[in-house]
Copies of this chain bind each other. A is one copy, B any other.
Amino acid sequence: MLSKFDGDVCSPKGFKASGVLCGIKKSKRDLAVIFSETPANSAAVFTQNKFAAAPLVVSKENLKNGIAQAVVVNSGNANACTGTQGISNAKRMAELTAKLLRINSSDVLVASTGVIGVQLPMNKIEKGIKEAVKNLKTDGGKEAACAIMTTDTFQKTVAVKTEIGGAEITIGGIAKGSGMIHPNMATMLGFITTDVKITTSLLKKALKESVEKSFNMITVDGDTSTNDMVAVLANGLANNNVIETEGEDFEKFKSALDEVTVTLAKAIVRDGEGATKFIEVEVKGAETFEDAKTVAMAVANSNLVKTAFFGEDANWGRIVCAAGYSGANVVPEKLDLFVKDFKLVENGTPTDYSEEEVSEYLKNKELKITIDLGLGNQKATAWTCDLSYDYVKINGSYRT
């Protein structure tokens, strides 16, 4: 039995965390450390942006042996487009954290988020790391979740428990998102901890598949950032029979991990910049998962669809239009479209639906649409938000 609760990265056995204010941002927490008592099998996925930021370069290098024991993260400054100086600074963050924790510096992952192209204020960062390490505690997960936020308006945390291989295991996570959320990772950071015992290669596989169905299925504005990263640390302290093959235990672990990643991903969309509505886009009846995903993301990314939802307008034309240009295999004469349970389009042409009833439903804050392609049995779900005046306002004046 899987149970979800209001936990975070400190929920699994053997993890501590902290979040402090070091002064990169004016008056908010801006530096976090997550620490495992013992070295943990670890995996991560990184942005596909060619301008991958310095901390990602360093984290990738440090993850080569599949082991990590700590994560250090700052917000307010992305350490991106900062050249060799940026790389040195990211390395310095790992080294100082390692020294203070008396661990190997190659077992520290580094992440940053915030403004691009400005060198990190290293004396503030160093002071912050010292304070954060000193403050590490078993209930510091919420503080850490706060310290990684940028334009986020609420902290994003979750944890789940389940039984695997004769033991109770826990997975906890924190994330930050807000603007620039898009597939292939976005200005999105996610840190997941677990006490499950699992091989690095299976952990890696589970994370990759889970991200594909969660963080890569959300979109706020379609841009993919330079700093995205989702990492998972599995320290094995639950003492379950180690997961080393792809059997039932692995599937159970994946379901539990999906619960964490999907919950965090949806929280990111709910907190999309200027969002007033949360929209689930389900695509079924596709020939392939790729097609289902392509259609779902095309609809979720469409500015015209997003503004129509902001205007509470059942503009199904824009939805089928997005399906049509997505590039996926779509046969107009076979497509049905539902808003909640209202069938608006059948076999590619509009039905006699009640405009009034649908309009009433569109006043809700949480909306669901379903597209049935009528071609197969594959499906995918994407999550998005509407595009509002406030989105333009926030992004027209982010730096100033």
A388 proximal to B (CB < 8 A): yes
Q: Contacts A117-B317, A304-B180 known; A348 to B83 CB distance under 8 Å?
A: yes
Contact code string A335-352 (vs B, CB < 8 Å = 1, else 0): 000000000010111100
Q: Most chain-B CB neighbours within 10 Å: which of A225, A325, A399?
A: A325
Give complex CA distance A98, B184 in Å.
52
Least distance between A314 CB and chain B CB atoms (Å): 8
Contact code string A215-237 (vs B, CB < 8 Å = 1, else 0): 00000011111100000000000
Asked whether A322 lies within 8 Å of B81 as measured between CB atoms, the reply is: no
A121 proximal to B (CB < 8 A): no
Least distance between A146 CB and chain B CB atoms (Å): 24
Q: Which residues of B contact A323 (CB under 8 A)?
A: 50-51
Q: Which residues of B contact A387 (CB under 8 A)?
A: 392
Among listed A1-9, A13-21, A305-313, interface-contacting one = A305-313
Asked whether A395 lies within 8 Å of B50 as measured between CB atoms, the reply is: no
A158 proximal to B (CB < 8 A): no
A202 proximal to B (CB < 8 A): no
Asked whether A310 lies within 8 Å of B396 as measured between CB atoms, the reply is: yes
Asked whether A315 lies within 8 Å of B50 as measured between CB atoms, the reply is: no
Chain B: CB-nearest residue to A180:
B304
Give complex CA distance A398, B391 in Å.
19
Contact code string A360-400 (vs B, CB < 8 Å = 1, else 0): 00000000000000000000000000011101110111111
Q: Which residues of B contact A116 (CB under 8 A)?
A: 317-318, 320-321
Q: Most chain-B CB neighbours within 10 Å: which of A81, A222, A350?
A: A81
Q: Contacts A303-B221, A313-B397, A348-B83 known; A324 to B49 CB distance under 8 Å?
A: yes
Chain B: CB-nearest residue to A224:
B325
Q: Contacts A308-B396, A395-B311 known; A349 to B82 CB distance under 8 Å?
A: yes
A128 proximal to B (CB < 8 A): no
Asked whether A349 lies within 8 Å of B392 as measured between CB atoms, the reply is: no
Least distance between A357 CB and chain B CB atoms (Å): 16
Chain B: CB-nearest residue to A186:
B325
Copies of this chain in the oligomer? 2
Give complex CA distance A80, B398 in Å.
40
Asked whether A325 lies within 8 Å of B223 as measured between CB atoms, the reply is: yes
Chain B: CB-nearest residue to A116:
B317
Which A residues, 104 to 147, have Cβ-Cβ distances below 8 Å to chain B?
Answer: 115-118
Q: Which residues of B contact A325 (CB under 8 A)?
A: 47-50, 184, 223-225
Q: Which residues of B contact A332 (CB under 8 A)?
A: 50-51, 81
A289 proximal to B (CB < 8 A): no
A285 proximal to B (CB < 8 A): no
Asked whether B51 lies within 8 Å of A117 as measured between CB atoms, the reply is: no
A70 proximal to B (CB < 8 A): no
Q: Contacts A180-B304, A223-B303, A392-B392 known; A321 to B400 CB distance under 8 Å?
A: no
Q: Most chain-B CB neighbours within 10 Å: which of A51, A330, A391, A393?
A: A51
Give complex CA distance A141, B400 in Å.
47
Give complex CA distance A393, B311 in Å.
8
**Residue in B52, B302, B310, B392 whose CB lies within 8 Å of A307:** B392
Asked whether B348 lies within 8 Å of A308 as measured between CB atoms, the reply is: no
A179 proximal to B (CB < 8 A): yes
Asked whether A317 lies within 8 Å of B348 as measured between CB atoms, the reply is: no
**Residue in B223, B324, B349, B393 whose CB lies within 8 Å of A318:** B223
Give complex CA distance A391, B48 in Å.
30
A-B CB proximity, top 6 nearest: A311-B396, A116-B317, A51-B324, A307-B395, A224-B325, A49-B324
Q: 5 more A-B contacts (CB under 8 A) besides A80-B317, A221-B304?
A: A50-B324, A52-B324, A81-B317, A118-B350, A223-B321
